[in-house]
């Protein structure tokens, strides 16, 4: 059994560790305006990414990317997450966020949507969540009704990240509400300037980003805007969410790694009542627990990613990795904050930012409880 | 012109070195290792010489345990063309390394041998000088700038009190200092290419080198811990302390 990363990924990891330490961490508190990367830093990081040969890392070769595997992508995400220089959402170092649904489009639609996204000319958002359908998309109320050569769409989507700047939306809508997520949901590509599409409320979140509500009122689109077949939408969406879960997992690894580095370094420096914090058992246990949990999470994420790369079904491992890593990194960030005391609460250090972001990951893209529900379902099927 | 670069695998510069409990040396078990930073600068310089059309091939050589191949692979990812690994478990003294490099240089016939000025583990600062003497080649140490023109090199050296510029005839041995260049980040495509570059193995015995140590390490100890300072009230007291307590004046 092989527990080491392949040599080339170890080298890549070392290179990125150095890059993040030397280039990103020294400027990490000044790169963003709110949750958006300032344009001068976006330009710099894009150039650096190209120079490091990481641009379009996970985009398949047939679409002009490098076609690197899930494990390689996880390594990049992990190392980049050690710094808060890049925004948590939408600030990918390796280029535009190309969602895999777009690879399923026919050639004409690829020209219209996939390639412009890869070139950075168009932006997409993903619309699944609704006021009464979050982790249970089967109960969504947004409907798409076939009418001749068109579909007519009505409903409301909520918490849609990036809707304000998106050119189009990958929309999940019910084509047969009686079937729910088992064949009742379809995926559509809809331009945001289509008549009847309207941005509603924008929410302020603790993470700093401001997702939107989108309202669809008698939106009429040609039937060719349907991706794949009717009823396949949930399946297509899940494929993307699977990769997203490992992105969560690997992000958490980087955050926890940095928090442990900071925690240890501060515990050695800070003297209270005549002794460094590092000599206190209460602090030592926090450090030990964090290290143990990070180690476990890393094995889970790498294992799931390696399984994905070998073409096996890795859904169960991805649920486990997402659940455990996101929970783990929040605990580690919390301990790191606690060890730092008052200074940890300030914006001079990246801890409060990591803590807030990490708190949100226990909810976004599959809440921890839903992960456990799905994991339990798998276990119940597995044993008599 | 072929450039031969000698590299060494050492404890990572960012890791705090710890002395083994029995005082026999520095703990390397479960410690992160990396290429000696000065060696990395030498590799970068060789690659730049090739990119500038001054060198035709860059070859890296290193002696050490099996994991040394990983360090050689790092050099190949920076851009070196091929590697030579001379397997050896345990430490090698500068003289043995210099003899090994001499034998490799005789096989490879490089126009230039580049080395780091010293390794950050034992800080010997001897190998390059010994190699030049063994080969009977000119040497330029502590280089902060290298200009190659035909069969001679002009090297700017960092010496006490400033910079010294010397011209050496090629083939020659140059050891590099910190400010010569800033090594690049190995890019992913270059890392992937490095996987396919050859690393030949040559036994130390085939190079006619006897690795037996000539030096005996008696004891390795941590530097003494710094004691706390004191505050003095007057200049007279300060002079007294410097004279009688610290014994420095």
Q: A110 lies in a domain?
A: no
CB of A152 closer than 8 Å to CB of A171: no
CB atoms B188 and A51 under 8 Å: no
Q: Provide the shortest C-alpha distance from residue B152 to chain A (in Å).
A: 33
> Residue A48 corresponds to which tokens in the numbers above?
């650096």
Q: A115 lies in a domain?
A: no
Q: Distance between CA B141 and CA B173 in Å, rounded?
A: 8
B189 to chain A: nearest residue by CA?
Answer: A53
CB atoms A68 and B188 under 8 Å: yes
CATH level 3 topology of B2-246 = Rossmann fold (3.40.50)
pLDDT, tens digit, 9 for 90 and up, residues A105-154? 899 999 999 999 999 999 999 898 998 887 787 889 999 999 999 999 99
> A168-174 and A36-37 as β-strands: parallel, antiparallel, unpaired?
unpaired
Q: pLDDT band for A43, please (50, 70, 90 cuts).
A: very high
Q: At what angle do helices A70-80 and A233-269 cross, to 10 degrees?
A: 40
pLDDT of residue A133: 81
CATH number for the domain including A203?
A: 2.40.110.10
Cα radius of gyration (chain B): 21
Q: Provide the shortest C-alpha distance from residue B147 to chain A (in Å).
A: 26
Residue B241 phi, psi (nearest 5): -65, -40
CB of A75 closer than 8 Å to CB of A246: no
pLDDT, tens digit, 9 for 90 and up, residues A166-179? 999 999 999 998 88
A66 to chain B: nearest residue by CA?
Answer: B189
The ipTM is 0.82
Contacts of B70 in chain A (CB under 8 A): 7, 10-11
> A212-222 and A150-160 as β-strands: parallel, antiparallel, unpaired?
antiparallel
CB atoms B195 and A54 under 8 Å: no
Co-location of A239 and A275 in the same domain: yes
CB atoms B70 and A10 under 8 Å: yes
Residue with tokens 């190995």: B186
CB atoms B185 and A14 under 8 Å: no
Co-location of A154 and A175 in the same domain: yes
Residue with tokens 């990081």: A45
Q: Distance between CA A237 and CA A226 in Å, rounded?
A: 13
Co-location of A211 and A245 in the same domain: no
Which of B73, B187, B188 lies at the smallest CB-CB distance from A7?
A: B73
Provide the domain limits for residue A290.
Answer: 234-382
Residue with tokens 């090199």: B153
> Residue B158 corresponds to which tokens in the numbers above?
């960092």
B69 to chain A: nearest residue by CA?
Answer: A7
Q: Provide the shortest C-alpha distance from residue B106 to chain A (in Å).
A: 31
For residue B85, the SS3 value is: strand
Co-location of A18 and A133 in the same domain: no
A-B contacts at Cβ under 8 angstroms? 41
CB atoms B185 and A51 under 8 Å: yes
Co-location of A167 and A280 in the same domain: no
Which of B74, B185, B195 lies at the smallest CB-CB distance from A52?
A: B185
Q: Distance between CA A250 and CA A5 in Å, rounded?
A: 14
Alpha helices (runs of H) in chain B, residue ranges in sequence order:
37-51, 68-78, 94-108, 127-135, 188-196, 235-240
Residue that terminates a domain, selected from A204, A231, A258? A231
CB atoms B186 and A8 under 8 Å: no
Active site residues of A: 365
Q: Distance between CA A254 and CA A82 in Å, rounded?
A: 5
pLDDT of residue B223: 87
Contacts of A68 in chain B (CB under 8 A): 188
Q: pLDDT band for A239, please (50, 70, 90 cuts).
A: low
Which of B70, B185, B192 lies at the smallest CB-CB distance from A15?
A: B185
CB atoms B188 and A52 under 8 Å: yes
With a CB cutoff of 8 Å and minimum separation 6, the contacts of A14 are B34, B74
- Say what percent of chain A tops pLDDT 70: 98
Co-location of A50 and A162 in the same domain: no
CB atoms A12 and B73 under 8 Å: no
Contacts of B192 in chain A (CB under 8 A): 8
Average pLDDT, chain A: 93
CB atoms B74 and A14 under 8 Å: yes
pLDDT, tens digit, 9 for 90 and up, residues A178-233? 888 788 999 999 999 999 999 999 999 999 889 999 999 999 999 999 998 999 88
Co-location of A26 and A46 in the same domain: yes
Mutation to test the B interface, candidates A10, A52, A295, most B Cβ within 10 Å: A52
B196 to chain A: nearest residue by CA?
Answer: A8
Q: A282 lies in a domain?
A: yes
Co-location of A172 and A278 in the same domain: no
CATH number for the domain including A335?
A: 1.20.140.10
Counting the structural domains of chain A, the total is: 3
Which of A7, A11, A57 lies at the smallest CB-CB distance from B186?
A: A11
For residue B227, the SS3 value is: coil
Q: Encode chain B (249 residues) as per-residue pLDDT tens digits.
A: 999 999 999 999 988 899 998 988 899 988 999 999 999 999 999 999 999 999 999 999 999 999 999 999 999 999 999 999 999 998 899 999 999 999 999 999 999 999 999 999 999 999 999 999 999 999 999 999 999 998 999 999 988 889 999 999 999 999 999 999 999 999 999 999 999 999 999 999 999 999 999 999 899 998 888 877 888 999 999 999 899 888 888
Contacts of A66 in chain B (CB under 8 A): 188
Q: Provide the shortest C-alpha distance from residue B195 to chain A (in Å).
A: 7
Residue that terminates a domain, selected from A172, A198, A231? A231
Contacts of B195 in chain A (CB under 8 A): 7-8
Considering only CB atoms, which residues of chain B are within 8 Å of chain A?
Answer: 34, 70, 73-74, 77, 185-192, 194-195
Q: A104 lies in a domain?
A: no
Contacts of B194 in chain A (CB under 8 A): 8, 11
pLDDT, tens digit, 9 for 90 and up, residues A337-368? 999 999 999 999 999 999 999 999 999 888 99
CB atoms B188 and A10 under 8 Å: no
Q: Distance between CA B2 and CA B121 in Å, rounded?
A: 28
Q: Comparing C-alpha atoms, which of A348, A358, A334 is closest to residue A28?
A: A348
Q: pLDDT band for A74, please (50, 70, 90 cuts).
A: very high
Residue A270, exposed/middle/buried by CB under 10 A (0-12, 13-18, 19+)?
Answer: middle
CB atoms A8 and B70 under 8 Å: no
Residue that terminates a domain, selected from A231, A263, A293? A231
pLDDT of residue A344: 96
Which of B34, B185, B191 lies at the smallest CB-CB distance from A8?
A: B191
Question: What average pLDDT does this structure show over A16-41?
Answer: 93
pLDDT of residue A241: 64
Considering only CB atoms, which residues of chain A are within 8 Å of chain B?
Answer: 7-8, 10-12, 14-15, 18-19, 51-54, 57, 66, 68
Residue with tokens 């083994």: B20
Residue A216 phi, psi (nearest 5): -115, 120
A12 to chain B: nearest residue by CA?
Answer: B188
> How do the domains of chain B map onto residue ranges?
2-246
The DSSP letter of residue B224 is P
Q: A109 lies in a domain?
A: no
Taking CA atoms, B124 is separated from A133, B94, B188, in Å, by: 68, 7, 34
Which of A18, A53, A66 lies at the smallest CB-CB distance from B190?
A: A53
pLDDT of residue B246: 83
Co-location of A89 and A17 in the same domain: yes
Q: Provide the shortest C-alpha distance from residue B107 to chain A (in Å).
A: 29
């Amino acid at each position: 059994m092989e527990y080491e990363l392949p040599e080339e990924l170890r080298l890549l990891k070392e290179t990125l560790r150095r890059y993040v330490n030397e280039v990103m961490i020294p400027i990490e508190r000044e790169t963003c305006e709110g949750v958006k990367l300032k344009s001068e830093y976006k330009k710099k990081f894009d150039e650096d990414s190209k120079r490091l040969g990481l641009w379009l890392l996970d985009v398949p070769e047939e679409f002009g990317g490098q076609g690197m595997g899930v494990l390689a992508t996880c390594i990049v995400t992990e190392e980049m997450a050690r710094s808060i220089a890049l925004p948590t959402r939408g600030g990918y170092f390796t280029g535009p966020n190309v969602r895999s649904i777009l690879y399923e489009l026919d050639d004409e639609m690829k020209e219209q949507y996939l390639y412009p996204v890869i070139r950075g000319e168009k932006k997409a958002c993903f619309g699944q969540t609704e006021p009464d359908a979050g982790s249970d998309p089967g109960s969504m109320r947004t409907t798409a009704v076939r009418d001749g050569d068109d579909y007519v769409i009505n409903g409301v989507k909520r918490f849609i990240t990036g809707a304000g700047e998106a050119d189009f939306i990958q929309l999940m809508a019910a084509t047969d509400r009686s079937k729910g997520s088992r064949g009742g949901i379809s995926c559509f590509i809809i331009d945001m300037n289509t008549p009847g599409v309207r941005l509603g409320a924008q929410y302020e979140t603790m993470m700093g980003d401001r997702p939107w509500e989108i309202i669809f009122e008698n939106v009429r689109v040609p039937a060719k805007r349907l991706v794949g077949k009717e009823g396949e939408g949930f399946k297509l969406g899940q494929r993307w969410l699977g990769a997203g879960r490992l992105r969560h997992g690997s992000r958490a690894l980087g955050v926890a790694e940095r928090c442990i580095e900071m925690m240890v370094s501060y515990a050695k420096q800070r003297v209270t009542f005549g002794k460094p914090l590092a000599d206190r058992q209460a602090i030592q246990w926090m450090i030990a627990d964090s290290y143990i949990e990070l180690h476990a999470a890393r094995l889970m994420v790498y294992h799931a990613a390696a399984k994905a790369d070998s073409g096996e079904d890795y859904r169960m491992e991805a649920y486990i990795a997402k659940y455990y890593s996101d929970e783990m990194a929040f605990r580690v960030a919390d301990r790191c904050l606690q060890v730092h005391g008052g200074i940890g609460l300030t914006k001079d250090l990246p801890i409060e930012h990591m803590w807030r972001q990490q708190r949100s990951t226990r909810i976004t893209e599959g809440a921890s409880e839903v992960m456990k529900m799905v994991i339990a379902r798998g276990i119940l099927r597995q044993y008599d | 012109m072929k450039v031969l670069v000698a590299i060494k695998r050492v404890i990572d510069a960012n890791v705090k070195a710890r002395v083994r409990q029995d005082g026999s040396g520095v703990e390397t078990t479960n410690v992160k290792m990396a290429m000696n930073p000065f060696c990395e600068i030498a590799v970068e310089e060789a690659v730049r010489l090739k990119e500038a059309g001054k060198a035709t091939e860059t070859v890296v050589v290193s002696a050490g345990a099996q994991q040394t191949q990983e360090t050689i692979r790092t050099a190949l990812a920076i851009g070196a063309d091929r590697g030579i690994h001379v397997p050896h478990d345990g430490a090698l003294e500068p003289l043995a390394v210099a003899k090994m490099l001499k034998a490799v240089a005789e096989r490879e016939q490089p126009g230039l041998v580049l080395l780091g000025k010293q390794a950050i583990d034992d800080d010997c600062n001897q190998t390059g000088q010994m190699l030049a003497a063994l080969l009977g080649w000119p040497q330029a140490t502590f280089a902060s700038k290298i200009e190659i023109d035909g069969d001679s090199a002009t090297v700017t050296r960092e010496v006490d009190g400033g910079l010294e510029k010397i011209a050496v005839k090629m083939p020659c041995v140059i050891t590099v200092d910190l400010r010569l260049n800033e090594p690049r980040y190995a890019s992913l495509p270059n890392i992937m290419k490095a996987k396919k570059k050859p690393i030949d193995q040559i036994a130390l015995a085939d190079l006619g080198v006897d690795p037996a140590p000539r030096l005996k390490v008696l004891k390795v100890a941590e530097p003494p811990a710094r004691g706390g300072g004191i505050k003095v009230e007057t200049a007279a007291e300060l002079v007294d302390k410097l004279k009688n307590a610290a014994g420095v004046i």
